[in-house]
């Protein structure tokens, strides 16, 4: 099998097991990942800055293991850090020409925890400017392309991390998710992503320290790897006032399909859905039902909360960029539009948005009293052309802003529940289609276990360019 030939394509937990057993060195895994960067990155543009100390970090892991020490649960795993997350001594541009030469003096908390767990930092992965966008491109590094079809979008905003995972450049991808940034690229690239409960991995440093809308998390090639990595970096920190309790982790592996009770809604945002995406999802549901799961179709309309999310997002941008408001026009179109939107908000609009957010959570909690999880398509459309900022229409409906088309993910960001995205199969064009799995409060492990069951029922395999290597 392909995985046996190249250790870079093994599941992260198997890579870690082999490194601990002495069957694979951290240095050899890093070399295998760098070989894949050399092979695919020029075309796909996933990794934008390599860590010059990566080889030293891998050698330190091997030396620690050789001395009988424990470098940590992620010993030797190769990790990509989203280029909006600070890395000490390693360029962090935020995808913005205004910060093209910025080198932070300290690691973000999540990077520090990854290092303390024994991970090796390969480098930084591409993102839209300040993660504002569902397609990964910026004026510093250009466009990131989909490994299933390089003419198409990889999604965003953690698009570079998703592409690097799908092609074996890294073991795990760190990222952030405000409106879908760990789920959209997972769907477009055929991998797994999880938006965890905000604060499960505290986001510090941050100008907006009380931010409970964005979440820091991971993507991986399968849901079990997401759980494996997330366990090592979760937990409160005194520097952050936004901290989630430890999740109720399910046992490693997939959920039992027999007797499972899941709700299904094909269009929570009421924007329509592409026929090929819907067909792939329906085929997945049929497979799950055949394996013994009960999947009931429910009518869940969250479109009424659309404007509330946009208000919360505008407030989020103003809170993060308060020190930069004197140069709103210096940012790219996505960031500047969000800042202007936020600056125009009234206190009454913000109050209404927060109350709408509460009602979304209440509606989902009522639903999750009857079901183990909610399943819904991650994206209403397949990947679109890579050089297009956002699709012009979805289901024939015009998209007025760059965030309208990601309503199926951003509406499910509002309630603060864990949401996984896992592949549900391929459409007629051979492109991956992702399903969102919304779990109960603190139910990260449950959402990922259900995602594993879906993945086993509907495996998609690697992109053709990887399968042909």
Could you list the active site residues? Answer: 82, 157, 181
Cα–Cα distance measured from residue 257 to residue 263, given in angstroms and rounded to the nearest whole number: 14
Strand 192-195 and strand 419-426: the pairing is antiparallel
In contact, 383 and 146? CB cutoff 8 Å? yes
Least Cα distance to 407 among 184, 191, 195, 187 occurs for 184
Cα–Cα distance measured from residue 77 to residue 29, given in angstroms and rounded to the nearest whole number: 8
In contact, 11 and 172? CB cutoff 8 Å? no
Per DSSP (E only), the strands in 396-431 are: 397-398, 419-426
Cα–Cα distance measured from residue 261 to residue 287, given in angstroms and rounded to the nearest whole number: 14
In contact, 303 and 270? CB cutoff 8 Å? yes
Termini Cα distance of the chain: 12
Helix then strand then coil, in percent of the chain rounded to 5, is: 40, 15, 45
Strand 432-438 and strand 149-153: the pairing is unpaired
> How far does Cα 144 stand from its chain's mean position?
15
In contact, 444 and 250? CB cutoff 8 Å? no
Q: What is the largest CA-CA distance in the chain?
A: 62
Per DSSP (E only), the strands in 76-158 are: 78-82, 120-125, 137-138, 142-143, 145-146, 149-153
Structure tokens at 403: 């965030």
> 207-218 in b/e burial notation, b at 16+ Cβ within 10 A?
ebeebbbbbbbb
Cα–Cα distance measured from residue 282 to residue 279, given in angstroms and rounded to the nearest whole number: 5
In DSSP terms, 263 is beta-bridged to: 296, 374
């Amino acid at each position: 099998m392909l995985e046996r030939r190249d250790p870079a394509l093994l599941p992260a937990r198997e890579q870690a097991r082999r490194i601990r057993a002495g069957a694979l060195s951290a240095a050899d895994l890093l070399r295998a990942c760098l070989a894949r960067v050399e092979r695919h990155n020029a075309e796909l543009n996933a990794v934008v800055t390599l860590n010059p100390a990566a080889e030293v970090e891998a050698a330190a892991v091997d030396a620690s293991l050789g001395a009988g020490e424990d470098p940590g649960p992620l010993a030797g795993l190769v990790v990509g850090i989203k280029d909006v997350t600070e890395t000490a001594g390693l360029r962090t541009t935020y995808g913005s020409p205004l910060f093209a030469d910025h080198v932070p003096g300290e690691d973000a908390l999540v990077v520090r925890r990854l290092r303390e767990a024994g991970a090796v930092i390969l480098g930084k992965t591409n993102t839209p400017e300040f993660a504002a966008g569902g397609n990964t491109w910026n004026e510093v590094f250009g466009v990131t392309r989909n490994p299933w079809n390089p003419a198409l979008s990889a999604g965003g905003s953690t698009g570079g991390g998703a592409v690097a995972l799908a092609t074996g450049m890294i073991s795990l991808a760190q990222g952030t998710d405000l409106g879908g940034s760990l789920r959209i690229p997972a769907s477009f690239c055929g991998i797994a992503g999880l938006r965890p409960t905000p604060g499960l991995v505290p986001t510090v440093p941050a100008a907006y320290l009380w931010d409970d809308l964005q979440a820091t998390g991971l993507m991986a090639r399968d849901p079990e790897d997401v759980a494996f990595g997330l366990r090592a970096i979760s937990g409160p920190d005194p520097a952050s006032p936004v901290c989630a309790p430890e999740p109720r982790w399910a046992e490693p592996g997939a959920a039992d399909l027999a007797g499972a009770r899941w709700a299904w809604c094909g269009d929570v945002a009421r924007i329509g859905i592409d026929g090929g995406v819907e067909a792939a999802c329906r085929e997945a549901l049929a497979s799950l039902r055949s394996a013994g799961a009960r999947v009931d179709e429910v009518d869940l309309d969250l479109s009424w909360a659309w404007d509330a999310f946009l208000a919360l997002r505008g407030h989020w941008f103003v809170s993060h960029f308060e020190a930069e408001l004197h140069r709103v026009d210096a940012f790219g179109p996505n960031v500047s539009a969000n800042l202007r939107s936020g600056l125009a908000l009234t206190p009454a609009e913000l109050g209404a948005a927060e109350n709408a957010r509460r009602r979304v959570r209440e509606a989902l909690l009522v639903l999750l009293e009857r079901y183990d999880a909610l399943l819904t398509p991650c994206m209403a459309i397949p990947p679109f052309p890579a050089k297009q900022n956002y699709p012009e229409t979805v289901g024939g409906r015009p998209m007025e802003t760059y965030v309208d088309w990601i309503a199926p993910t951003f509406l499910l960001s509002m309630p603060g529940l864990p949401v996984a995205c896992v592949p549900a199969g391929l459409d007629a064009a051979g492109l991956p289609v992702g399903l969102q799995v919304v779990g109960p409060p603190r139910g990260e492990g449950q959402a990922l276990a259900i995602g594993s069951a879906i993945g086993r029922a509907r495996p998609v395999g690697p992109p053709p360019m990887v399968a042909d290597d």
